[in-house]
């Protein structure tokens, strides 16, 4: 059985849960509470020196970190169903969206960055939110325009074509995260339509942050209400 070290509302963990579900792979979860700082525990850092989730541990003890490296490994070892659409241009487009999320949004809004801004550089909570929302709005605006212009996207469908791809698996968790910081996602109707389509897919539904083993009860109730 695969073991996924993750945190219910971490967007990079959410990506990998979607990916594992989509490939139909069984895994057990070991929660790492990021707010309590469990990612910095010595035994955890033996496994991931970066002190971050997700980490996937394979049956033979192989340990892999970095959500996109994990997704690539899953793709190579379990090619069907694929995380990538047919066609080099379509695959390029799907990667383009996935990389905006994973390289241009997530790193600057990660927990350790926000903590550094407030605790070390002394910015206020309000300024922190302004920072967070700037990178969401700038990059989500770009994604919205790209979806609108792309011949590979149809409104109300997945980002690229008729099946979920790496683009959706990165985008949907980031939208969830943006809502936690009260970003107004109604500014991005095409992205919201992608999200709606994806959330109806069982692989995404099973990965919902509000339905994981470490989801706090108050959020779990809100999800099932
Ligand atoms: N690029 C890495 C980022 C991993 C990462 O930083 N994960 C976040 C949660 S989404 C984390 O563990 N943050 C803990 C912290 O910043 O202290 C990936 O894609 O896996």
Q: Which of 33, 38, 102, 110 to mutate to test the pocket of ligand 1 (most atoms within 8 A of CB)?
A: 110
The answer to whether the CB of 136 is under 6 A from ligand 1 is no
Whether residue 225 is predicted with pLDDT greater than 90 in this model: the reply is no
Q: Give the pLDDT score at 32.
A: 98
The answer to whether the CB of 53 is under 6 A from ligand 1 is yes
Q: Give the pLDDT score at 175.
A: 98
Residue 221 — very low, low, confident or very high, per pLDDT cuts 50/70/90?
low
Q: Give the pLDDT score at 209.
A: 98
What is the overall mean pLDDT for the chain?
97
Whether residue 222 is predicted with pLDDT greater than 80 in this model: the reply is no
The answer to whether the CB of 111 is under 6 A from ligand 1 is yes
Element (H, E) at 3: strand 2-6
Q: Give the pLDDT score at 94.
A: 98
Q: How far is the CA of 83 from the centre of ligand 1 (A)?
A: 21
Q: Give the pLDDT score at 223.
A: 52
The answer to whether the CB of 34 is under 6 A from ligand 1 is yes
Q: What share of the chain is helix, strand, coil (3-state, %, to 5)?
A: 60, 5, 35
| Structure token pair of residue 212 | 């994981």
Tens digits of residue pLDDT in 80-122: 999 999 999 999 999 999 999 999 999 999 999 999 999 999 9
Read off φ and ψ for residue 28, nearest 5 degrees.
Answer: -105, 155
Tens digits of residue pLDDT in 29-76: 999 999 999 999 999 999 999 999 999 999 999 999 999 999 999 999
Tens digits of residue pLDDT in 180-195: 999 999 999 999 999 9
Tens digits of residue pLDDT in 146-189: 999 999 999 999 999 999 999 999 999 999 999 999 999 999 99
d(CA 115, CA 182): 18
Q: How many CA atoms lie within 13 A of 45 on its CB side?
A: 9
Pick the closest to residue 69 from 39, 48, 41 (CA basis). 48
Q: Give the pLDDT score at 7.
A: 98
Q: Residues with Cβ < 8 Å from 6, sequence gap 6 or more? A: 13, 16, 17, 29, 30, 31, 32, 53, 54, 55, 212
Q: Give the pLDDT score at 200.
A: 98
- Take atom 3 of ligand 1 and give the residue whose Cα is closest: 66
| Structure token pair of residue 206 | 């099973």
* Cβ neighbours, 10 Å, residue 55: 24
Q: Which DSSP string corresponds to 48-107? A: -TT--S-EEE-TT--EEESHHHHHHHHHHHS-SS-SS-SSHHHHHHHHHHHHIIIIIIHH
Read off φ and ψ for residue 57, nearest 5 degrees.
Answer: -110, 130
Q: How wide is the angle at C-alpha 23 spanned by C-alphas 159 and 162, nearest 5°?
A: 25
Q: Residues with Cβ < 8 Å from 102, sequence gap 6 or more? A: 12, 67, 68, 170
* Residue 54 contacts residue 43 (beta carbons within 8 Å): no
The answer to whether the CB of 48 is under 6 A from ligand 1 is no
């Amino acid at each position: 059985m695969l073991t996924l070290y993750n945190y219910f509302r971490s967007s990079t963990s959410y990506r990998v849960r979607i990916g594992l579900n989509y490939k139909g792979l069984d895994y057990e979860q070991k929660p790492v509470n990021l707010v309590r700082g469990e990612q910095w525990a010595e035994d955890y850092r033996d496994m991931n020196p970066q002190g971050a989730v997700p980490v996937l541990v394979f049956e033979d003890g192989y340990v892999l970190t970095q959500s996109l490296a994990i997704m690539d490994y899953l793709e190579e070892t379990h090619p069907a169903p694929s995380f990538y659409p047919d066609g080099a241009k379509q695959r390029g487009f799907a990667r383009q969206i996935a990389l905006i999320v994973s390289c241009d949004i997530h790193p600057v809004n990660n927990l350790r960055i926000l903590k550094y801004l407030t605790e070390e550089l002394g910015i206020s909570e309000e300024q922190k939110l302004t920072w967070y929302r700037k990178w969401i709005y700038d990059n989500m605006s770009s994604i919205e325009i790209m979806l609108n212009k792309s011949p590979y996207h149809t409104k109300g469908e997945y980002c690229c074509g008729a099946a979920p791809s790496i683009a959706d698996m990165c985008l949907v968790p980031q939208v969830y995260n943006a809502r936690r910081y009260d970003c107004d996602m109604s500014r991005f109707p095409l992205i919201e339509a992608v999200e709606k389509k994806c959330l109806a897919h069982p692989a995404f539904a099973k990965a919902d942050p509000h339905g994981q083993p470490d989801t706090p009860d108050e959020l779990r109730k809100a999800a099932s209400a």
